[in-house]
Chain A
Amino acid sequence: MTDRDQQAFRLYPYARSPDQDRMPPARHPVVVAGAGPVGLAVALDLGRQGIPVLLLDESEGPGIGSRALCFAKRTLEICDRLGAAKAMVAKGVEWNLGKVFHDDRLLYEFNLLPESGHAFPAFINLQQPWFEKFLHDAIRAAQADGAPIRIRGRNRVEAVTPAGDHVSVEISTPDGPYHVEADWLIACDGARSPVRHMLGLGFEGRVFEDNFLIADVRMKGDFPTERWFWFEPHFKSGDSALLHRQPDDIWRIDFQLGWNIDRDKELEPANIRARVDAMLGPDVDYELDWCSIYTFQCRRMEKFRHDRVIFAGDSAHQLSPFGARGANSGIQDADNLCWKLKLVLEGIAPETLLDSYEAERIQAADENILHSTRSTDFITPKSSVSRLFRNAVLDLAEHLPFARGMVNSGRLSTPCIHDGSALNGPDHPAMPPRSRPGSPCPDAPVETGWLLRQLGPGFTLMTIDADAPETLSAHGLTFARLALTARDNEALRERYLGEAASAVYLIRPDRHIAARWKSFDESAIGAALARAIARE
C-alpha cells in the first residue's frame, strides 16, 4: 500500500456524476488533473473568479505523511487572496530561528525574522495534508457562495488526447470509464505526472545520488521551535541531520543516509529508532508518526505549455527539498497561471498570454533549481575536494562571519522577480528596486489594514500621493484605483516611493508589479495594460 492510497482526510469521496452517462461527452472550460496543493489552488482561484473548473483526483483526499512542510510568506499571501491563509497560520508553527551545527559544535544561529510591516510571517511549518485540507475548506466556502468548482474523487485520468480546439480526457472510476472534453487541461499531477507520460514529454535534469530518511516523531520534548541542522553530526545518525517542529507535537527529523543503502532494512522501525535515539538522547519518549526514504532530482520540462495542456507544480519542475521550494513554487505557478487563463477564456487576452506563464515560471523554476542544486552540493559533496572545501567553510564559520554566508543548508524560498518579462512596462529610476516591474508587491501597513488585502481581484491602479480617476477602463477591463498616502507611513515610502514624491503603480492580478510612473498618464497606463495582457 502506498501513502497515496492511505488518506489523512477523506475530503472528496467518490460520487457518480451525470457526466458518466453523457454522450457526446460533457465539455468543460478547465479540467485540472490532480488535487494536491497546486491543483486545489488552481481550482479555487479559477472558481472564485467564476470560471467553471473540474478537479479530478485518483484518491479521495490528501495522502498521509507530512511531506511538504515549510510554507513561505509569499505562499501565505497567495492563500490569503484565496481565503485560506487564516486557518493555515492558526494551525501552523511560526519559526524564525535556525541553528547550524558541525559535529558537536554550534557554528552559528540565524534569524529569519522578517522586517516588520507584513501581514504574514516569513514561514510557517504545517503538514501538507493540513495545507490541502484548508485549501479544500476554502473551496467548500467558495462553492457555498456559488463558485463553479467540482471535485471528483477516485476519478483517475487514464488517457489524454489533444484534439484541436480541446483535449479529450479519458477517466476511470469505480463505475467504469467515461470521457470529458476540456478546453484547457491543467496537469498538477505531481513529479511522476501521468499526463506528462501520456503525452510522451521529457523531464530533464540531474539525479542526486543520496538517500534521505524522514522520521516524523510525536513527542513532548522541550526542544525549542527552531530549525536545527547538523553537518556530520556527533550522534552519527547520518551524514547530515535536521530537526524541525510541526504542529501537534510532531517533529520532522531528516537523516542523510548515503547512496548504497538497503531501503527495506533502513525503514525497519528498530533501525529508525536507533538513529532517533542517538540524536535525541536516551531519555526522550516519542512515537514514530510517519517515515519515508526519498532520493531526489532537480529537473524540469523544456516547455510548461503544450498547446491546450499546461503543466504546473512538480509535474513541470522537480526540486530537492532543501529550501522548501516544491509546494511554494507550485502555488506561485497557480497564482501566475489562473488570471491569465481567465482572461484568455473570456476572450480579453490572446492565447499568447499563456506563453508568458511558461516564460515567467521557467525563469522561477531555473532559479529554484539553481538554489536547490547549490544546497544539495553543499550538503552532499560529490567529490573529496568538494568535501574538503565544504568542511573548510564549516571550520571557519564558527568564528568568521564571512564563511557563514557560504554555509548552505537550504536557502529558503523567496518569490522570483520576473526581470525581463515580456509583460513588464516602464520603470521609474527614483523608486526602490525591490518594487520594480516584475516584482511581487511587498506588503505594507496602510490605514485600512494590510496593503495586499486592499488590492482588487483583477488589475489594480495604486496611487501614492498622486491624482487619478477612481476607475479605469481599457482593453475590455475595468478596474479600481487604490489611493494611498505615504505621509506618516515610512514602510510604504521605503517600499514603493524611494526618492520619488509620488507614484502610480499598475499591479497585476497575481500582485506582481506591471509598471510604475511618477504620475497618472492614461495613455501610458493603457499601453502598459495592453502589454501586461499580451495585446501589444
Chain B
Amino acid sequence: MLNTDPNLPDPDEAYARLIAAHDGLSEAESHAMNARLVLILMNHIGDRAVLDEALRLAREGPGN
C-alpha cells in the first residue's frame, strides 16, 4: 500500500536537494533527469499495486 503519510525526516532538506539536483541543467536535461529518477524509484518500489496507486494519485491529483 502506498504510504502518503509524512515519511521524510527533514522535508525542507529533501525538497532542497531535489531542486539542487537540477542546478545548471537545461529544461530538456531536467526533464531527462526526472524521467530517469522516476524509473529508478519505480524499480526500487517494485510493487505493482503501490505503483498503480502512485500513478493514479499523480495523474488525478489528491482528493479525486
Task: List A residues at the B interface (Cβ < 8 Å).
Answer: 388-389, 391-393, 395-396, 400, 402-403, 406
Q: Is B31 an interface residue (CB 8 A)?
A: yes
| Chain-A contact segment, one of B4-12, B14-22, B32-40, B48-56 | B32-40
Give me 24 A-to-B residue pairs in the complex whose CB atoms sit less than 8 angstroms apart, sorted by A's number. Answer: A388-B31, A388-B32, A388-B35, A389-B35, A389-B38, A389-B39, A391-B32, A391-B35, A392-B32, A392-B35, A392-B36, A392-B38, A392-B39, A393-B39, A395-B32, A395-B36, A396-B36, A396-B39, A396-B40, A400-B40, A402-B43, A403-B39, A403-B43, A406-B39
Contacts beyond the supplied A389-B38, A392-B36, A406-B39: 18 A-B pairs with Cβ under 8 Å: A388-B31, A388-B32, A389-B35, A389-B39, A391-B32, A391-B35, A392-B32, A392-B35, A392-B38, A392-B39, A393-B39, A395-B32, A396-B36, A396-B39, A396-B40, A400-B40, A402-B43, A403-B43
Which chain A residues lie closer than 8 Å to B31 at the CB level?
Answer: 388
Which chain B residues lie closer than 8 Å to A402 at the CB level?
Answer: 43
A410 to B10, CA, bound (A): 44
Which chain A residues lie closer than 8 Å to B32 at the CB level?
Answer: 388, 391-392, 395
A279 CB, min distance to chain B CBs, angstroms: 26
The residue in chain A whose Cβ has the minimal distance to the Cβ of B35 is A392
The residue in chain A whose Cβ has the minimal distance to the Cβ of B46 is A402
A535 CB, min distance to chain B CBs, angstroms: 41
Question: 10 tightest CB-CB pairs across the interface, nearest first?
Answer: A392-B35, A402-B43, A392-B36, A388-B35, A389-B35, A392-B39, A388-B31, A396-B36, A395-B36, A392-B32
Which chain B residues lie closer than 8 Å to A396 at the CB level?
Answer: 36, 39-40
Task: List B residues at the A interface (Cβ < 8 Å).
Answer: 31-32, 35-36, 38-40, 43
A402 to B42, CA, bound (A): 10
A230 CB, min distance to chain B CBs, angstroms: 19
B54 CB, min distance to chain A CBs, angstroms: 15
A406 to B43, CA, bound (A): 11
Which chain B residues lie closer than 8 Å to A393 at the CB level?
Answer: 39
A400 to B36, CA, bound (A): 11
A389 CB, min distance to chain B CBs, angstroms: 5
B38 CB, min distance to chain A CBs, angstroms: 8
The residue in chain A whose Cβ has the minimal distance to the Cβ of B44 is A402
A102 CB, min distance to chain B CBs, angstroms: 13
A406 to B39, CA, bound (A): 10
A406 to B35, CA, bound (A): 14
B24 CB, min distance to chain A CBs, angstroms: 18
Q: Which of A388, A392, A395, A402 has most B Cβ within 10 Å?
A: A392
Which chain B residues lie closer than 8 Å to A406 at the CB level?
Answer: 39
A348 CB, min distance to chain B CBs, angstroms: 45
Which chain A residues lie closer than 8 Å to B35 at the CB level?
Answer: 388-389, 391-392
Which chain A residues lie closer than 8 Å to B38 at the CB level?
Answer: 389, 392
Which chain B residues lie closer than 8 Å to A403 at the CB level?
Answer: 39, 43
B13 CB, min distance to chain A CBs, angstroms: 26
A393 to B35, CA, bound (A): 8
Which chain A residues lie closer than 8 Å to B39 at the CB level?
Answer: 389, 392-393, 396, 403, 406
A402 to B31, CA, bound (A): 21
The residue in chain B whose Cβ has the minimal distance to the Cβ of A402 is B43
Which chain B residues lie closer than 8 Å to A392 at the CB level?
Answer: 32, 35-36, 38-39
Which chain B residues lie closer than 8 Å to A395 at the CB level?
Answer: 32, 36
The residue in chain B whose Cβ has the minimal distance to the Cβ of A403 is B39
B50 CB, min distance to chain A CBs, angstroms: 16
A406 to B36, CA, bound (A): 13
The residue in chain A whose Cβ has the minimal distance to the Cβ of B37 is A392
A205 CB, min distance to chain B CBs, angstroms: 26
B34 CB, min distance to chain A CBs, angstroms: 9
A280 to B4, CA, bound (A): 53
A388 to B28, CA, bound (A): 9
A174 to B7, CA, bound (A): 80
A403 to B35, CA, bound (A): 12
A395 to B35, CA, bound (A): 10
Which chain B residues lie closer than 8 Å to A391 at the CB level?
Answer: 32, 35
A403 to B44, CA, bound (A): 12
